[in-house]
Structure 1
Amino acid sequence: MQVLQVQLEVGADPAEVGRARRWARSRLLVSGIRDDEPLAETLILLISELVTNAVVHTGCPAVLRMLFGSTGAPGSAGTVRVEVADTSCRPPQQRHAEGEDTGGRGLELVDGLADRWGWQPEGAGKRIWCEVDRGIPVIQVQMQPCAHGAGAHGAGACGSGGCDAVGRDAVAREPGGAYEPSHAVTHRA
């Protein structure tokens, strides 16, 4: 299996969610997923929810990763995986929003849109991930380093202790790599 991974460090400011969406749209386009495809809109919504949850609930930077997988066989569709690593060790909890509530629907939305999702501990924090299976063949692309965060990694600090861990484990996955989560929900096998 061939896996292309790109990543972006997201600051602790909720305004960073918009920057993460714009960055993700450009990476989807380079991977062959057009802006006008329903798949692109689904992925952007998933990214927006996961990044918002990480930034709002921890108050610290996070790392957004997108992985584009393919078996490499002609006509293979592949999977797009979105991961958001944060510095909180608290497991994600689905809440049930009612009526006019402005929050509490994020993981419910992820559960409804993703083919699979889950989370796993990562150092002092956790990584929440979701996967969406592509319905079209994957095209082979070659990404170039970008000054705006593609492939960037490193540490950030927000002064609350523990946020300096952001960016660790920022290496590309081995083909057929560790996609086995410790906690997962699967839909549409």
Structure 2
Amino acid sequence: MQVLQMQMEVRADPAEVGRARRWARSRLAGSGIGVDEPLAETLILLISELVTNAVVHTGCPAVLRMLLPGVAGPAGAAAGGVGTVRVEVADISARAPRRRRAQGDETGGRGLELVDGLADRWGWHREGAGKRIWCEVDRGEPCWSGAFEPQHAATNRA
């Protein structure tokens, strides 16, 4: 199986988050993942959170990379199927990502909680003077399935 790798450089500017989302949408569409598919929506949200963390919390430029499984088709697009989609954001800050729990009306502090809830796996490691944070979503399963269901649905019935 071939893995498609795509990357973009992200400047240390919060406006780059929107540019990263647009870039990712266009690359996903070109890889055979429809922009209105649950997988695409999940990946766009994950990318938004990871890029936001990089540019807002470190003040450093970053590199966004997507790795998509698939076999190149006749037009160079990946054929659909199962596999793992990986998103990585590398920056030059030695500052480790810090998971917070936002309280009440706080406007920040939910990014890594969202990543933890949406990704099948995530983590980070030091790389040179900086770090790389990554997340993976297993393809072939509905990413949003049950996302808004109570954990103990049976106890919530009348």
Q: TM-score range by the shorter chain?
A: 0.7 to 0.9
Match of residue 185 from structure 1: none
CA contact (8 A) 2:64 2:90 kept: yes
| C-alpha spacing 1:28/1:113, structure 2 compared with 1 (3 Å) | same
Alpha-carbon shift at residue 70 of structure 1 (Å)? 4.2
Q: Distance in 1 between matches of 2:108 and 2:132?
A: 21
Residue 60 of structure 1 and its aligned partner are, at CA, apart by 1.4
TM (normalized to structure 1)? Answer: 0.68
Overall identity of the aligned pairs, in %: 80
Give 2:30's aligned residue.
Answer: 30
Look up the equivalent residue of 1:21 and give its one-letter code. R
Q: 1:3-18 maps to which residues of 2 (within 5 A)?
A: 3-18=3-18
Larger Rg: 2
Equivalents in 2 of 1:52, 1:19: separation in Å? 11
Counterpart of 1:179 in structure 2 is none
Flag the structure with more relative contact order, 1 or 2, with Cα contacts below 8 A and sequence separation at least 6.
1
CA contact (8 A) 1:10 1:61 kept: yes
Q: 1:120 aligns with which of 117, 125, 132?
A: 125
The residue type equivalent to 1:108 in the other structure is E
Which residue of structure 2 lines up, in the alignment, with residue 52 of structure 1? 52
Per mean C-alpha deviation after superposition, the further-off stretch among 63-72 and 45-54 is 63-72
Q: Which amino acid aligns with 1:84?
A: V
| Per-residue Cα deviation, 1:28-55 (whole angstroms, up to 9, x for no partner) | 0011110110111100000000000000
2:35 and 2:81 mapped to 1: Cα distance?
21
Q: Which amino acid aligns with 2:105?
A: E
CA distance in 1, matches of 2:97, 2:2: 29
Where in structure 1 are there 5+ consecutive unaligned residues?
137-189
Structure 2: tracts of 5 or more residues without a match: 73-78, 142-158
In the other structure, the counterpart of 2:42 is: 42
Distance in 2 between residues matched to 1:112 and 1:22, nearest whole Å: 23
Measure how far apart 1:4 and its partner are. Answer: 1.1
Runs of 4+ in 1 over 3 A off after TM superposition: none
Distance 1:12 1:115 in 2: 28
Q: Are 1:105 and 2:105 an aligned pair?
A: no
2:86 maps to 81
Counterpart residue number, 2:151: none
Q: CA deviation at 1:71?
A: 8.1
Q: How many residues align?
A: 135
Rounded Cα–Cα distance in structure 2 between residues aligned with 1:69 and 1:121: 25
- Does the 8 A contact of 2:70 with 2:80 survive in 1? no
Q: Is 2:46–2:115's contact at 8 Å kept on the other side of the alignment? A: yes
Read off the aligned partner of 1:19 and give its amino acid letter.
R
Partners of 2:81 and 2:140 within 8 A in 1: no
Contact 1:71-1:78 within 8 A present in 2 as well: no
Contact conserved, 2:33 with 2:80, CA < 8 A, in 1?
no
